[in-house]
Every structure is written in structure tokens, then in C-alpha cells.
Amino acid sequence: MDIQSLQKIIDDITYSICSPITSLEERFKIFEEQKILPYYIRGKNKGKIREFYNVDDRGFEKLWGFIFPYIFKSCIRSRSYNESIDVEDLISEVRFSTYRSLQYYGPMYNNQTFSKRLGLIVNNILTNEHRRISKNNVIEIQYYDREEFDIILDSNHGCEKEGDDVDFWCSVPNDIRPYVEKIVFEGVEWEEVKKEMDEEKIEILIKFVKSLK
């Protein structure tokens, strides 16, 4: 099964198991209990009230059963970087983060479907674990799973952000994401990146940057 087919199945499942909570009072209560700001602080949704989704438990088990083999394979392969990694702990953390992501962002967030976010979730966890284990090393280890047709193969592979930074990366329009990654992660100067872009993409990037202020 190719990556597009896998992503479609995942997205179809997530759409069927997530339903938004419409009550502001209920949402504010949830965020207060979890000590999370009830509004977005970055991206084009800055200042807007956060949404929150009910996730059907049985539906989530169906989703997890489908993605588990790919998550497991990715975590197992990560051990080649460091044998002290606890695969079971990693899988548990991915499961928890997957559920939380569906609660906070639902099946679609800023034109990014859940299958697009899944790669970011897993790479965040694997990267953080490698850094935790190698924290005394001068050179930090960063893990990226890039095996062809793996569900982790995804346009977000360059992202290593968490929390509110996930809001940021989810808000980056697809058309300009490669250029933003070059600037942020590769340190390429804006003038150099600009040469690779047409006028429409430059305009999109400028509008996006202004929306962050």
C-alpha cells in the first residue's frame, strides 16, 4: 500500500471518530483543568478560541490498531541509533500524543489532515528521546525516519517542534512550507530562498509572516 492510500485511510477514520465540543463553557473548563490557554497564541488563528474535540474511544482503538504496525516499526528502527531506547515507552508516548492531538486539533487543522501531523508527532518523540539519552554528548542526535512507504514519511519531516510550535508548523501553508524549513532549519538566507520562489509564493510567505505578529 502506498503512502497516499495509507494517509487516506487514516484521515477517513479520524473524521469519523472526532466531534467538536461547541459549548464555550465546557471548553474553558477543560482548558482550565489541563492548564492550557483557551486561545491560540500563534499563526493565523492567533487570538481565536481553541477548539476541543470529543474522541470516540472505540474509534480511537480502531485507528490505533491500524497505525500501530507502522509506529512499532519506526520505534524499533530508532534503536539502531541507540540500543538503550525503551520501545514500549516510546509507543505509549506516541499513543498518548496521538490521542491528545485529536482532542486539540481534530481531524483537520489549518488545512493539515491528521495523517500529515502523525509524522510530526512521532519524529518529535523520537528526537526528544534521542536527545534525552545523549544529553551529555557534545553533538545532539536527531532522528528522522525516512524509509520509503513508511507512514512516517511525511512533509513535516523537518519539524522538531512541540506545544505551541506545533500550532505554528500546522499553520504554515503547504505552498511555502519547504521554503520556511530552509530558512528555519537550514539557515538559508531569505534573499537566497527568495530566488527559488515565484511572486505568488513570495506574497503568500509575506502574508504568513505578517499574521504571526
CB atoms within 10 A of CB 118: 26
Both ends of the chain: CA-CA distance in Å?
42
Question: In which domain, by residue range, is 31 found?
Answer: 3-155
- pLDDT tier for residue 159 given thresholds of 50, 70 and 90: very low
Lowest mean pLDDT segment, chosen from 16-25, 69-78, 141-150: 141-150
Does 195 share its domain with 141? Answer: no
pLDDT (mean) for 4-17: 90
Q: What pLDDT does residue 142 have?
A: 42
Lowest-confidence segment of 5-9, 86-90, 192-196, 201-205 by average pLDDT:
86-90
Inside any domain, residue 162: no
Regarding whether 180 and 114 lie in a shared domain, the answer is no
Of the candidates 6, 27, 121, 140, the residue with the CA atom closest to the CA atom of residue 75: 121
- Does the residue 165 lie in any domain? no
Do 146 and 188 have their domain in common?
A: no
Comparing 126 with 85, the larger pLDDT belongs to 126
189 and 85 part of one domain: no
Per-residue pLDDT reduced to its tens digit, 96-142: 989 988 998 889 877 788 888 888 888 778 777 666 655 544 333 34
Total domains in the chain come to: 2
Residue 72 lies in a domain: yes
Alpha-carbon distance 40 to 28, whole Å? 13
Indicate if the pLDDT at residue 148 is higher than 60.
no
pLDDT at 143: 42
Statement to judge: residues 30 and 58 lie in one domain? yes
Amino acid at site 164 = D
**Radius of gyration of the chain from Cα atoms?**
18
